[in-house]
Structure 1
Amino acid sequence: MEYQPGVCNIGPTQQRRRLLLGVASLALAAVYVAAVVALAWPQWALVLAVFPLYGAAMGALQYRERFCIGFAGVGVFDVGEGTNEVQNEAALAADRKKAVRLNAKAVAIGAVGTVIVFGAVSVLL
């Protein structure tokens, strides 16, 4: 695997870490929603599910895209040979542009997921 600015900045090991982040965040969201329902907390508390749902989306997107937004922010990449610094300014700009797009997608997915959860719980209760 090779580093490609604005396309790919992580290899298989780092991808697995992002997938684990996504799965753990999704599990946390499910536990949180179950707690809100089981403990009869106010329904508005479901809005806080946006945070773990955002984390789940972020992990899944980074896994799928083979791209870490955190790495882009600090100007590094790790495609399997260890962490290396991005030396080219154009490459760094391309990475940061992609990071902004991925973050926006994750925010949107987390928000839509929260609306779905809120609606589903409202209908079921």
Structure 2
Amino acid sequence: MEYQPGVCNIGPAQRRRRLLLGVVSLLAAAALVAAILAVGWPRWTLVLTTFPLYGAAMGYFQHRERFCVGFAGMGVFDAGDGTERVDDPEALAADRRRAVRLNVKSLAVGGLLAVAIYGVAVVAP
């Protein structure tokens, strides 16, 4: 695998780590929903699932798109041969634009899922 600015900045090992982040975050969201319902907190607190659902979406999207938002912010990439710096300013700018898009997409998915969970909880007895 090869580094491609704004397209791909992580290899298979890093992709697996991002997928694990997504799975753990999804489990955390499920645990949070269960805890809120079990304890009897107000239904609006289900909106707090936005945060772990954002993490789940971020992990999934980073895995699928072979792109790490954090690496883009730090100006590095790891295509499988270890972490290396991105020295080209244009490549760095492309990576950071991609990182912003992935962040916005992940936040939108996390927020929409949280609203859906809240909606189901309000309608369900």
TM category (shorter chain) comes to: over 0.9
Instruction: Show structure 1 runs of 4+ deviating over 2 A.
Output: none
- Aligned counterparts of 1:114 and 1:69: Cα–Cα separation in 2: 22
How many residue pairs get matched? Answer: 125
Give deviations 1:13-51, integer Å, cap 9, x for gaps. 000000000000000000100111111111111111100
* Per-residue deviation, 1:106: 0.4
Residues 1:62 and 2:89 are matched in the alignment: no
Query: Offset of 1:123 from its aligned partner?
Result: 1.5
Q: Distance in 1 between matches of 2:120 and 2:68?
A: 32
Map residues 45-84 of structure 1 onto 2, 5 A cutoff. Answer: 45-84=45-84
Hey, what does 2:12 align to over in structure 1?
12
Q: Which runs of 5+ in 1 are unaligned?
A: none
When normalised by structure 1's length, the TM-score is: 0.98
> 1:121 offset after TM fit, Å?
1.1
RMSD of the alignment, in Å? 0.6
Q: Following the alignment from structure 2 to structure 1, what is the Cα–Cα distance between the partners of residues 70 and 84?
A: 14
TM-score, L = length of structure 2 = 0.98
Query: Which structure 2 residues correspond to residues 1-125 of structure 1 after superposition, within 5 A?
Result: 1-125=1-125
- Overall identity of the aligned pairs, in %: 63
- For residues 100 and 15 of structure 1, what CA distance do their matches in structure 2 show? 18
The amino acid across from 2:116 in the alignment is I
